[in-house]
Amino acid sequence: KSAVGAGLRRARDMLDYADTATVAAVLGCGRRTTAHDTVPFALWSAARALGDYEQAFWTTAQAGGDVDTTCAIVGGVVAAGKAGAPPVGWVERVEALPSWMPV
Protein backbone atom coordinates (compact mmCIF):
# COMPACT_ATOMS: atom_id res chain seq x y z
CA LYS A 1 0.00 0.00 0.00
CA SER A 2 2.31 2.67 -1.31
CA ALA A 3 1.68 6.37 -1.75
CA VAL A 4 1.87 5.88 -5.52
CA GLY A 5 -0.71 3.09 -5.35
CA ALA A 6 -3.04 5.28 -3.29
CA GLY A 7 -2.60 8.09 -5.82
CA LEU A 8 -3.36 5.74 -8.71
CA ARG A 9 -6.59 4.67 -7.02
CA ARG A 10 -7.55 8.35 -6.57
CA ALA A 11 -6.65 9.02 -10.23
CA ARG A 12 -8.92 6.18 -11.35
CA ASP A 13 -11.73 7.59 -9.23
CA MET A 14 -11.25 11.01 -10.84
CA LEU A 15 -11.37 9.95 -14.50
CA ASP A 16 -14.75 11.67 -14.88
CA TYR A 17 -13.34 15.01 -13.68
CA ALA A 18 -12.65 17.42 -16.54
CA ASP A 19 -11.06 20.22 -14.52
CA THR A 20 -7.32 19.66 -14.76
CA ALA A 21 -6.54 22.18 -12.03
CA THR A 22 -8.76 20.38 -9.54
CA VAL A 23 -7.27 17.01 -10.39
CA ALA A 24 -3.73 18.39 -10.13
CA ALA A 25 -4.57 19.91 -6.74
CA VAL A 26 -5.78 16.54 -5.47
CA LEU A 27 -3.25 14.23 -7.11
CA GLY A 28 -0.26 16.53 -7.37
CA CYS A 29 1.50 17.31 -10.63
CA GLY A 30 5.16 17.01 -9.78
CA ARG A 31 5.70 20.15 -7.74
CA ARG A 32 7.30 17.95 -5.07
CA THR A 33 9.28 16.01 -7.71
CA THR A 34 8.37 12.66 -6.18
CA ALA A 35 6.77 9.64 -7.83
CA HIS A 36 3.62 9.85 -5.71
CA ASP A 37 3.23 13.51 -6.68
CA THR A 38 3.84 12.89 -10.40
CA VAL A 39 2.79 9.43 -11.62
CA PRO A 40 -0.92 9.45 -10.62
CA PHE A 41 -1.57 12.78 -12.37
CA ALA A 42 0.40 11.77 -15.46
CA LEU A 43 -1.52 8.52 -15.81
CA TRP A 44 -4.85 10.31 -15.21
CA SER A 45 -3.97 12.73 -18.00
CA ALA A 46 -2.88 9.95 -20.36
CA ALA A 47 -6.00 7.89 -19.65
CA ARG A 48 -8.24 10.84 -20.50
CA ALA A 49 -6.73 11.24 -23.99
CA LEU A 50 -5.25 7.92 -25.07
CA GLY A 51 -6.07 8.50 -28.73
CA ASP A 52 -5.04 12.16 -28.87
CA TYR A 53 -1.38 12.83 -28.17
CA GLU A 54 -1.68 16.60 -28.54
CA GLN A 55 -4.67 16.86 -26.20
CA ALA A 56 -2.94 14.68 -23.60
CA PHE A 57 0.19 16.80 -23.83
CA TRP A 58 -1.56 20.16 -23.45
CA THR A 59 -3.83 18.94 -20.65
CA THR A 60 -0.75 17.78 -18.78
CA ALA A 61 1.26 20.94 -19.41
CA GLN A 62 -1.65 23.14 -18.31
CA ALA A 63 -1.35 21.84 -14.74
CA GLY A 64 2.16 23.20 -14.23
CA GLY A 65 4.39 21.52 -11.72
CA ASP A 66 7.15 19.28 -13.08
CA VAL A 67 5.91 19.70 -16.66
CA ASP A 68 8.86 18.07 -18.42
CA THR A 69 8.52 14.91 -16.33
CA THR A 70 4.73 14.64 -16.46
CA CYS A 71 4.65 15.33 -20.20
CA ALA A 72 7.40 12.77 -20.80
CA ILE A 73 5.41 10.13 -18.92
CA VAL A 74 2.18 11.04 -20.71
CA GLY A 75 3.88 11.19 -24.11
CA GLY A 76 5.36 7.73 -23.65
CA VAL A 77 2.10 6.19 -22.48
CA VAL A 78 -0.04 7.79 -25.18
CA ALA A 79 2.50 7.14 -27.97
CA ALA A 80 2.53 3.46 -27.03
CA GLY A 81 -1.15 3.25 -27.98
CA LYS A 82 -2.55 2.65 -31.46
CA ALA A 83 -3.73 6.19 -32.19
CA GLY A 84 -1.35 8.09 -29.97
CA ALA A 85 1.47 9.27 -32.22
CA PRO A 86 2.74 12.82 -31.80
CA PRO A 87 1.46 15.28 -34.42
CA VAL A 88 3.49 15.13 -37.65
CA GLY A 89 4.36 18.81 -37.41
CA TRP A 90 5.91 18.23 -33.99
CA VAL A 91 7.95 15.26 -35.18
CA GLU A 92 9.27 17.28 -38.14
CA ARG A 93 10.62 19.96 -35.78
CA VAL A 94 12.64 17.80 -33.40
CA GLU A 95 16.38 17.48 -33.69
CA ALA A 96 17.75 14.24 -35.01
CA LEU A 97 19.21 11.81 -32.53
CA PRO A 98 23.01 11.78 -32.44
CA SER A 99 24.64 9.41 -34.93
CA TRP A 100 26.02 7.28 -32.09
CA MET A 101 22.51 6.55 -30.82
CA PRO A 102 21.16 3.29 -32.29
CA VAL A 103 17.57 3.53 -33.44
Query: In this predicted model, what pLDDT tens digit does every residue of 40-86 receive, in sequence order?
Result: 999 999 999 988 999 999 999 999 999 999 999 999 999 888 767 88
Residue 73 maps to a domain: yes
Which domain does 30 fall in, by range? 3-93
Residue 44 maps to a domain: yes
Given phi > 0 = left and psi -120 to 50 = alpha, else beta, which region is 16? alpha
Residue 79 maps to a domain: yes
Residue 98 maps to a domain: no
Residue 102 maps to a domain: no
The structural domain count of the chain equals 1
Residue 35 maps to a domain: yes
- % of the chain surpassing 70 pLDDT: 99
Residue 46 maps to a domain: yes
